[in-house]
Amino acid sequence: MELGKAKYGSGKKVFKVQDGDNVFRILPPMGKLAKSGKWNLYYRVEWGYKNSAGKNRPFQDVRVVNRETKMVEVESAAHLRREALKDQKMQLITALRKNPADVNLKTQLNTVTEAIKRFNLDSKYYLNAIDLNGQIGLLKIGHKAFMALKTEIDKLRKTGVDPLSVENGRFFNFNRSNATGNFQDTAYQVTIYKENVQVGNETYQKDKVHVLDGTIIARLSDEAFELSGMYPEVTASQVEHMVNVGPAAVDEILGAGDKRSADSEDDDSTEETTNNTITHQETVTNIKGTVQSNESIAAVSTPVTPAAPVTPLATVDKVTVATTNAALSDDEFLKSIGAVR
């Protein structure tokens, strides 16, 4: 009879990039992506859609915009909801400028602002990484940070060093700074991490080399993430159904109840995060020590076909609603403008 070791908790870690220095070694392709050589995947994820149990059920964005013509080829009801909420916010701000002492307007503005945070589209590159303390986990970074990382990787590869290889890996320092506090002003600088080496009476700096030994590789099946299929793919009509119907439709399309996986997730963006979205990785095989020069990034996977007409949010005089429904609760107010079902 085969015996196994009991697992307590998820055993999975999601790294959170903080202001200042953040040092990680990016891990090579693994799991279902090992043969293709892909060491990162790009996801556009819709957050805020909850099932009848109140649990978030994030899914991949379905909106498709033709890069050449700038025309929308597949529309998303989730996107239209978000834009309508932003429009509602601007109307409330305009009303507040005329009536700055109106407490009800302030309350409604806060409610809409929170709804915009809830129904958030989060776009990130997903990578497996290990930190200086030996912790293995998921690293999610935005476009600016990813491009800075890729620049450093390309520099090393030109010198004959594969920084994602099994036997000759490198650590990178992701320095995040935001002097103004504005999310759009966040700056990322990525550099090769160096360690001090004492030679005689002199101290030198050299790249910190990292080897994936047998002990680390044995941990990957439990601690690294299967990057493929992390979030479900849905159709434009299914998104419209969830927007128009609410939790019952989320149950129907993405599952009812508290079906959490063994993995947890934490994020530094504005969306609500959840513990039930990561597909558990059963095996990690065929770790490659090479990085392809042209990485294939998974963008929008929805076929480019016309979407069904999308039902807009409730067509009401938004400022009138905001100024006359003082007795409404937050949920009632959001329902009155069609923001939630």
CA 311 to chain centre: 27
- What pLDDT does 202 receive? 84
User: For position 273, what pLDDT does the model report?
Assistant: 36
| pLDDT at residue 316 in the model | 36
pLDDT reported for residue 266: 39
DSSP 8-class letter at 320: H
Quick one: pLDDT at residue 3?
63
DSSP track, 236-260: HHHHHHHHHH-HHHHHHHH-SS---
DSSP per-residue codes, 171-185? EEEEEEE-SS--GGG
Element (H, E) at 192: strand 187-192
Predicted local distance difference test score (pLDDT) of residue 334? 78
What is residue 12's DSSP assignment? -
Q: Name the 3-class secondary structure at 10.
A: coil
Q: Is 109 helix (H, G, I), strand (E, B) or coil?
A: helix
Reported as type and span, the H/E element at residue 116 is: helix 103-118
CA distance 341 to 338: 7
Give kind and range of the element (H or E) at residue 115: helix 103-118
| Range 14-79+121-309 classified under CATH 3.90.198 | yes
Please list, in sequence order, all residues whose beta carbon lies within 8 angstroms of the beta carbon of residue 221, skipping any fewer than 6 positions away.
281, 282, 283, 284
Rg (CA), the chain: 23
With a cut of 50, list the residues of the chain below it in pLDDT: 8, 259-312, 314-324
Pairing verdict, β 136-141 and 14-15: parallel
**Which helix (H) or strand (E) element contains residue 112?**
helix 103-118
Q: Tell me the CB-side half-sphere exposure of residue 113, using CA atoms within 13 A.
A: 9
The domain ranges of the chain are 14-79+121-309
Q: Return the ∠ at Cα 192 (arms to 189 and 194), rounded to 5°.
A: 125
Contact 108, 316 (CB under 8 A): no
Torsion of CA 88, 89, 95, 96, to 10 degrees: 160
